[in-house]
Amino acid sequence: MKATAIAPANIAFIKYWGKADDVLRLPLNSSLSMNLSGAQTVTTVEFSPDYKHDRIDMTGETMSDKERERVSSHLDRIRMKAGTKLSARVVTKNNFVKGTGIASSASGFAALTVAGCAALGLNLSEKELTILARLGSGSACRSIPDGFVEWVKGYSSDSSFAYSLYPASYWDLRDILVVVQKGQKKVSSTEGMEGLRTSPLWQARIAGMENKIARVKDALEKKDIRLLGETIEEETLNMHTVARSQNPPLLYWTPKTEEIMTVVRKWRSKGLVVYCTIDAGPNVHLICEARDEQEVTKKAKSLTDVWSVGVNKPARGAHVVGDDLF
């Protein structure tokens, strides 16, 4: 009754910002993302009658009681499916810093779902796994299928799931992640999006969604980096403008974030085909094609006062692996 899974974080091209149902984690809009090869979580789950209660640890990081409770509640969902009351030991390890705008909850809950189900011998389809992962953290459902993924918003728990639009090998894109600030962000995505409806702009955001989703899908189909890039920058500005206009306002960017956005425009005006996208944090994801990886990485590394620059390729989704963490 022990299994280990690995799951990638993902970068949202079309972002999930706001829920139609808080408990079921039904989103207000569908979203699109790419799994990231360089930001992964490995999780081992073991259920045993020897454990009197759940014990949850994250290697190299501290966890709050609230975070542990969220993991335990997710284990409850998995236990319910398997019809067991056994407690579990969970050890999880990220190869990136938690809570910096890299979606650690996405890779975390995807890995937990796949490892937990495998440990109890539950034979769920990929679609069922995405629905289960979604209940832990919305964006986690997008870390289960391979490569480029759509999370269909749906209208009920069973109709809100994720699936792979294209495998990781489909388009050799790069996400050059520029980490401008280390450490946990002050307002989590969960809390942040709770205030969505305080923004006078939220309905306009949702009204424009279908068109924007169609453009990103079109760009993916045609492998059109310019159309993709222009649309994801528009989407980033839209999400952050809404977040900034919430009450209380959410200012996820630092001056460095804006400086990078400006310099990326300058690089582009000189012919380098690279675009920005930013989740709920200050770090900037530079999206380009493989042929521009070296140039973009070199330029990103020449920026002053940035914490790190990492290269991500499109990655496969969550899956079981052989090496247990304990």
Measured CA to CA, the distance from residue 90 to residue 134 in angstroms comes to 19
For residue 174, the minimal CB distance to ligand DP6 (Å) is 19
Q: Tell me the one-letter amino acid at 149.
A: V
Q: Which is nearer to ligand DP6, 16 or 161 (CB)?
A: 16
Least distance from ligand DP6 to the Cβ atom of residue 138, Å: 3
Q: Kindly tell me which of 190 and 308 has the beta carbon lying closer to ligand DP6.
A: 190
The residue with tokens 């582009």 is 268
Name the residue whose CB lies closest to ligand DP6. Answer: 138
Tell me which residues touch ligand DP6 (CB under 6 A).
12, 15-17, 25, 31, 103, 105-106, 137-139, 189-190, 279-280
The tokens describing 119, both together, are: 């440990």
Inter-residue contact 320 to 118 (CB < 8 Å): yes
The distance of closest approach from Cβ of residue 2 to ligand DP6 in the complex, given in angstroms and rounded to an integer, is 26
Residue 36 or 117 with smaller CB distance to ligand DP6: 36
**Secondary structure in 3-state letters for 154-213:** CCCHHHCCEEEEECHHHCCEEEEEEECCCCCCCCCHHHHHHCHHHCCCHHHHHHCHHHHH
Q: CB 313 → ligand DP6: shortest distance, Å? A: 18
Tell the smallest beta-carbon distance from residue 275 to ligand DP6 (Å). 17
CB 5 within 8 A of CB 124: no
Question: Which residue, 233 or 279, has its beta carbon nearer to ligand DP6?
Answer: 279
The 3-state DSSP class for residue 82 equals helix
Q: Which is nearer to ligand DP6, 4 or 29 (CB)?
A: 29
